Amino acid sequence: MTEPVRCSWVTSDQIYKDYHDNEWGVPLRGQREMFEKISLEGFQAGLSWLTILKKREEFRRAFEDFDINKVASFGQDKVEQLLSNPGIIRNRLKIHATISNARLVIEKNIDLTELLWSFQPSPGQLANPELLTRSSQSDDLSKELKSLGFKFVGSTTMYALMQSTGIIKSHSKDCFLFS
């Protein structure tokens, strides 16, 4: 059986193929789901997404399935426990950012789905979105999140989040999922 043509960033690794074919670019909504995505994208900064995918299940265990209330309650003991967990990215700044971001969502009563999707570009607004690494919309989303106090939400990171959550349609024209 012939493999379907996928976006060029997909490697031969099955976990990457499965992610591309079943999750990437599929419209995502939900407070917990968006918090998980924004957290994992922050952990990915400077690394490959494949690294995150391979550690995602342990991230989910370690961060209480990204339950915002539980993550917001993490104290120093939990931070130390996370820093000793080889199944996740053990970066103190990224761990603290995830906890801080959870606290901001609660304190400011932020609807992450509504906020993130409010930066969706108009259809056809982005030429060749699969070739971009940022856009005016990801710039604006990054600025908004930073103004609220969020960390690890740079424009390139937010563009990747917008692609992965379907806010921006970015499958390449030759990909079997292009629409």
Which residues form the catalytic set?
19, 41, 49
43 Cβ partners below 8 Å, 6+ apart? 52, 59, 88, 89, 91, 94, 98, 152
**Dihedrals φ, ψ of 10, to 5°?**
-75, 125
Q: Using alpha carbons, list the distances in angstroms from residue 151 to 11, 29, 35, 79.
A: 29, 21, 13, 16
Q: What does the alpha-carbon distance between residue 135 and residue 120 come to, in Å, rounded to a whole number? A: 11
Q: Which residue has the tokens 């604006």?
A: 140
> Any idea what the Cα angle at residue 25 is, between residues 20 and 27, rounded to 5°?
135
Q: What does the alpha-carbon distance between residue 9 and residue 172 come to, in Å, rounded to a whole number? A: 10
DSSP assigned state of 82: H
